[in-house]
Structure 1
């Protein structure tokens, strides 16, 4: 482990470039503080991402440039960088392994987004037209394949069997999660446990792998490695639960994607399951028509939003998210207090309280 740095009473930390970073506020401010603290590492990661997206096939860098322009939180690579630093990685060998693996994590994530948008026929991603809406489904699928290949080139060059095993297993789990979601789509008999298995597979598994890979790079003890894996898994669960709540509770301009997309696609998420369980028989007839039978009228989304509000389905979903965020924070208890520890605690709070 590296030397722990206690936070001063003002709740500020010193970033990699020596500037002061506020870590006193939870939520969005906490995530921004983590990004600011790791700004130097993240700039290096972004440089790797841009460089590795280059190809003599012109369409690949064109589509990649669209993805880079769309931005995003880069939360998963940030977690890899943070986990490595928390475990004492100081890149004295000059190899910047944590940066390369963080870029690999982002490539895996972006590849799945490209494929998911095709499967879901999504038209928006982060407030902009999705790649498939601009370049077509074939190009999106193939560039997604290219990014997966780039990710595994990075893993091969890193030559750590542990890191390779972690991220290759996560990639398989991501695919399983998406297939499982497809099999539960339009099925209101889906249990909450089955739904939680879906969101672990499609989201939380990569959060867990991002953290565990960083721990391996930082030469963590087995206990630290497991703690960071648990942290990432629970943070990812909270993140996806809030994402599912936002589909019924956010403003499209803020959310960056179409509000009600999950509803129109017949996805069975916790807000729907909670509203269905708590609703009257008349309410359940409505849900079976719009979700199971896919018979939707223009006014049905507003009706669904009203039923979700009446049954406190959003509140139930957010409370479940906070349960997972609390487990994430608890998982870090074995690490000594330091700047990066505090920032990761705040990031767990962000995962359950974000608004986009």
Structure 2
């Protein structure tokens, strides 16, 4: 049985320190993003900018810039790589919303609701193409290898999630494999490419990758808990979206495992067969409360957060190291 290492969640944690430290570089990244979404095909910048300008925190590209600074990188390749990371993330969101038939994204109508599924998929493909062009322009074969491998792994994670969809027999290990692929891999790659550009020792590259991987898992687990216990304004999506879409997330996996036959029959009816009626979401939340699955999901997230902080221990004290530790605390504090 896994030992969960508690990591103190602080409600006052924020990413302000990180934002300040990467502000100058982030301006250049934002300019690059705007210039690279330009196209003579009018619909492409319209669809891309609808999502890109919708108020996301841009955490992944900020992590690329942060790790480049932590590794004392002196060039400017990290700007294009950070923009590439954001384009990869945006492309996966466009594709995800089509697969999940999502109506909302970051508190606004999703692109598919405004322009249709076909446009969302094709604009996502355009952004992936632009991301790879920028990677090639940077000229680091190793960075290109890391990010292109991440793109393949993310797609694998999405397909794994499709296979697990509506399957209440999904185990915790299987579910963690899905989120390692579809969410944490991009965090890991975003964090790894900075020290790679700086030609830092392999141990530092591996440590930065570990920070990203563990932070990404923690981030997703908190998201899973928030879907049943958060506030819509905080999430930028509707509470219970995962439930309505039949997604098997960790709170469900734990509730199904710990439930009796009648409770398992409820999960089978609602998630496997999609027969959801009035009051079913409230009942689902009640079962999660009974079996403490939201608290345990957050405890798992704290465990991975602690591993992310431990991976940073390799680096000497600095404002950037403190800012990154604060980012971990912030991602966990969203569960409050």
Secondary structure of the corresponding residue to residue 70 of structure 1: coil
Q: How far is the alpha carbon of 1:280 from its aligned partner?
A: 2.4
CA distance in 2, matches of 1:69, 1:349: 26
- Please show how residues 216-295 of structure 1 align to structure 2 within 5 Å: 216-295=196-275
Q: Does 2:12 match 1:32? A: no
- 8 Å CA contact 1:48–1:103 kept in 2: the answer is yes
Secondary structure of the corresponding residue to residue 41 of structure 2: coil
Q: Does 2:86 match 1:106? A: yes
CA distance in 2, matches of 1:226, 1:69: 32
Unaligned runs of 5+ residues in structure 2 are 1-8
Q: How far is the alpha carbon of 1:27 from its aligned partner?
A: 5.8
CA distance in 2, matches of 1:330, 1:29: 18
Q: Does 2:31 match 1:51? A: no
Q: Deviations over 1:93-130 (max 9, x none)?
A: xxx21111100000001000000001101111111111
Q: How far is the alpha carbon of 1:265 from its aligned partner?
A: 1.3
Q: Does 2:166 match 1:186? A: yes
Q: Does 2:69 match 1:69? A: no
Q: Does 2:65 match 1:81? A: yes
CA distance in 2, matches of 1:55, 1:288: 46
The match for 1:308 among 288, 297, 307 is 288
The match for 1:174 among 138, 154, 165 is 154
- 8 Å CA contact 2:65–2:78 kept in 1: the answer is yes
Q: Counterpart of 2:182?
A: 202
Q: Counterpart of 1:97?
A: 77
- Closer, same or farther in 2 for the Cα pair 1:119/1:54, shift >3 Å? same
- 8 Å CA contact 1:28–1:354 kept in 2: the answer is no
Q: Deviations over 1:67-92 (max 9, x none)?
A: 2320201010011000000001133x
- 8 Å CA contact 1:234–1:327 kept in 2: the answer is yes
CA distance in 1, matches of 2:55, 2:210: 27
Q: Does 2:307 match 1:327? A: yes
Secondary structure of the corresponding residue to residue 53 of structure 2: helix
CA distance in 2, matches of 1:153, 1:316: 42
CA distance in 2, matches of 1:336, 1:219: 18
Q: How far is the alpha carbon of 1:62 from its aligned partner?
A: 1.1
- 8 Å CA contact 1:81–1:99 kept in 2: the answer is yes
Secondary structure of the corresponding residue to residue 64 of structure 1: helix
TM superposition score normalised by structure 2: 0.95
TM superposition score normalised by structure 1: 0.90
Q: How far is the alpha carbon of 1:250 from its aligned partner?
A: 1.0
CA distance in 2, matches of 1:317, 1:355: 10
CA distance in 1, matches of 2:298, 2:38: 40
Q: How far is the alpha carbon of 1:268 from its aligned partner?
A: 0.8
- 8 Å CA contact 2:179–2:220 kept in 1: the answer is yes
The match for 2:138 among 132, 155, 158 is 158
CA distance in 1, matches of 2:328, 2:208: 12
Structure with higher RCO (Cα < 8 A, 6+ apart): 2
Secondary structure of the corresponding residue to residue 253 of structure 1: helix
Unaligned runs of 5+ residues in structure 1 are 1-24
CA distance in 2, matches of 1:26, 1:249: 18
- 8 Å CA contact 2:84–2:134 kept in 1: the answer is yes
Q: How far is the alpha carbon of 1:266 from its aligned partner?
A: 1.1
Secondary structure of the corresponding residue to residue 30 of structure 1: coil
